[in-house]
Structure 1
Amino acid sequence: MRFARCAAALIVVGAAGRQTNGTVFTESDIQTSHLIRRPAVVEGREWLGLQVFKGGSRLEQVDVHWVGSLNFEDSLFTLSVQPGAPAFIVADVPQLSAGPAVSLSRYEETLSSRVPLHFVVGSRAYSVELTGTSPTMCDAAVTLSDGTLSQGLYFPDQEFLSCDEPHFSVQWVGDLDGDGRLDLLTTFSQKYSYYPRRLWLSSAAQGGELVGLVATLDGFAA
């Protein structure tokens, strides 16, 4: 499947006026050919790739650039990432630097209604739960909880698209910023062809939050 993708320059402004603005590509985004146009500027930016290996994982500096080709009359663009095979790559997130990381789940996990995903980071147990009463899940919400505090990560009224075969998944879970708390990479969408990547870090959380949004990529299946 080909994708037309655009990077969302989403800014999170906390109580102290702090702003963070980053871009994230999942493993699937890296491996996919992007139709017609490059979805984000990658050259001239400092990129980190999460390498997951037996016994651990690590953020490493990676070189990223676009490679263009022609398929009949269509322009196709693919990402070249070296060293290769990262679980995801991320740029412009000041909380992150090269070094060890903890990965609890590298592969995509699909959320099912009222069947929470459970994770333990350090001494804390977390759950990610999808809830909704409609058979179509057009009223679905996603909540992150540590047993004491709960934070909504997705609400249907956030969407700018009409509901059509919504899908909800977690691409990665672990500790990326080294603070001993949960970080995660998600895709929560109200439409089958829309793929909003969202990277959440605990070190970016504001008061009353477990995580804060630090990097995005919005994609649409062509």
Structure 2
Amino acid sequence: MAMLSLAVAAALATAPALQMPGQFHGGETVARDGERWLALFDAAAGARLRAVRVRVTPTRDAVLDADDGPVTGRIVDTASGPDGAAVAYVRGPGLRERAVARATVVEGPVVNGLGTSRLRLGDRDYTLATRCVPAAAIGDGYRCTIELTQGDRRQTLATMAGMRGEDDRILLGDEAAPGLLFAGDLDGDGALDLLFDVTDHYNLSAPTLFLSGAAGEGELVRAVAEQRSTGC
């Protein structure tokens, strides 16, 4: 049993990587069939990281594959367990099987279509906010940043253009919908880690893993891995 645990730990202590579950076009998957990853589960009873073997199954890509040609799509999943479906599969130093402290998230008011979230992890308080300022270089557009704040420390997670929509809301990027996927202590250092989709296009997903344990001087977190994929 100890040998198996050591083998699993060695397989997972690699360069940081992120794989989302679901269906993808060919070439968009990071994981390979049969690899060991840590699955992030976020069930009612709590969040946890658990070692799993990932399945990557060929499937017909309804957008790109011809009816009489080879299949190029891929479905990424794992056998269902007591924790339900995985939120994501992750790898990297500092990540191991453990119960994960989940942050509480309270949504603040939405102004001009831009929201603010207050997060609490243990005795630490954070704010996630999208801020937009007029940008002359974009004509009548805006320069928008998604920022994580703790006390007097502020860090930009993503930057993109913004434009006023017909309903006076500010639309981010090309009608994109960036958003928080998970917030909690993934690497066990007591500080906030994030899984955040930093997409700037309506047809692009860009989930990104931000870890506090990898943060440099002046940073709250650092982006260590991402998986980009397109829709149709």
**Pair 1:172-2:198 in alignment:** no
The structure showing larger relative contact order (alpha-carbon pairs under 8 Å, at least 6 residues apart) is: 1
Are 2:55 and 1:65 aligned? yes
Tell me if the contact between 2:38 and 2:89 (Cα under 8 Å) persists in the aligned partners.
Answer: yes
Q: 1:184 aligns with which of 173, 176, 194?
A: 194
Between stretches 125-134 and 97-106, larger displacement belongs to 97-106
Is the contact made by 2:31 and 2:54 (CA closer than 8 Å) also made in structure 1?
no
| Partner AA of 2:18 in structure 1 | V
Partner in structure 1 of residue 101 of structure 2: 102
Question: For each residue in 1:93-149, what CA deviation from the matched residue of structure 2 results, as whole angstroms up to 9, or x when unmatched?
Answer: 11101111112369xxxx875531011112110001001146x97521111001121
Asked if the contact 1:128–1:144 (Cα under 8 Å) also holds between the matched residues in 2, the reply is yes
One-letter amino acid of the structure 2 residue matched with residue 89 of structure 1 = Y
CA distance in 1, matches of 2:229, 2:102: 25
Seq. identity, %: 25
**Following TM superposition, by how much is the alpha carbon of 1:46 offset from its aligned partner in structure 2, in angstroms?**
3.1
Q: TM-score, normalised by structure 2?
A: 0.71
Amino acid in the other structure paired with 1:95: G
The whole-number CA distance in structure 1 between the counterparts of 2:188 and 2:30 is 27
Where 2:152 maps in the other structure, the secondary structure is coil
Distance 1:58 1:88 in 2: 11
Assess if the C-alpha contact under 8 Å between 2:19 and 2:31 holds in 1.
no
Larger Rg: 2
Equivalents in 2 of 1:38, 1:154: separation in Å?
A: 21
Q: Which residue identity is paired with 1:103?
A: R
1:152-167 map, 5 Å: 152-156=156-160, 163-167=173-177
Aligned to 1:22: 16
| Residue number in structure 2 paired with 1:89 | 89
Residue aligning to 2:149 = 145
Stretch moving more, 138-147 or 37-46: 37-46
Aligned residue-pair number: 189
> What displacement does 1:204 show?
0.8
Matches within 5 A, 1:107-118: 114-118=114-118
Runs of 4+ aligned residues of structure 1 deviating over 6 Å after TM superposition are none
Gap regions ≥5 residues in structure 1: 1-19, 158-162
TM-score normalised by L of structure 1: 0.74
- 2:218 equivalent among 208, 212, 215: 208
Partners of 2:130 and 2:147 within 8 A in 1: yes
Partner Cα separation in structure 1 for residue 129 and residue 41 of structure 2: 27
Which position in structure 1 is the counterpart of 2:39?
49
Q: Do structure 1's residue 122 and structure 2's residue 127 form an aligned pair? A: no
Hey, what's the Cα distance between the residues in 1 that align with 2:96 and 2:141?
38
Q: How far off its partner does 1:38 sit?
A: 5.2
CA contact (8 A) 1:138 1:190 kept: no
